[in-house]
Amino acid sequence: MAVHTTTSLDGKVLEITLDRPKANAIDAATSRELSNTFVAFMDDPVQRVAILTGGGEKFFSAGWDLGSAADGESFESDYGAGGFGGFPELKHRPKPIIVAVNGMAVGGGFEIAMSADFIVAADHAQFFLPETRVGVLPDAGSIRLPRLLPRQLANEVIFGGRRLSAEEAKSWGIVNKVAPSAELMDTARALAAEICVSAPLSIAAVLDIMRVTEDLNIADSYVAMRKNDTYIKAINSEDALEGPNAFAEKRDPVWKGK
């Protein structure tokens, strides 16, 4: 079976490259491959942050492989436990994901990026959703983009095929950082290193709290947070004692994740 992803481990950071020339389009088999990688990452006790990028400099990902669609692959295909792209539908994921957009993020490629916790983009990157022009629709994009952009601007992207440059996406808060192409991965790695300074149980709790309170008002959010298992685990952990002790002793904390 063809392999279209490569991985490398840099300390606690897992780097994943989608490498499927010419446009890093994703069929069901490639999505399952990505999903298996992300599931293993979430279960690994050492790995803290994942960075997903694309091979080459032209495309991060062109999204759904329309060639496979023409051959009979459908929206109901098995894309793996994490859904299309490997992680967007993983439930209760305790670790952050950075997407390093090295080129055009088209259709499902843009949707995958929107599902990440951080986006770092090359300065020539573009983001757009062309699905309605080929007779389908941006399912995840129709849900996620109106939550990230003003509705009228989101409509231009979803209905009209408007492209967002890396800088414009950054100005609207979709992209965290923009870097020259040659500095893209170093920028993503620096961000990952910043995340790894924090306690892993704290990060997991914050991710879970944001998830469970996303549609709640403030009062109900406090109630949900106090009852949240990951919150309770974090505030009662050894690491919750290690942090203040390390601060008092003027040393770096040593996180155990327990």
Residues annotated as catalytic are 111, 131
* Cα radius of gyration (the chain): 19
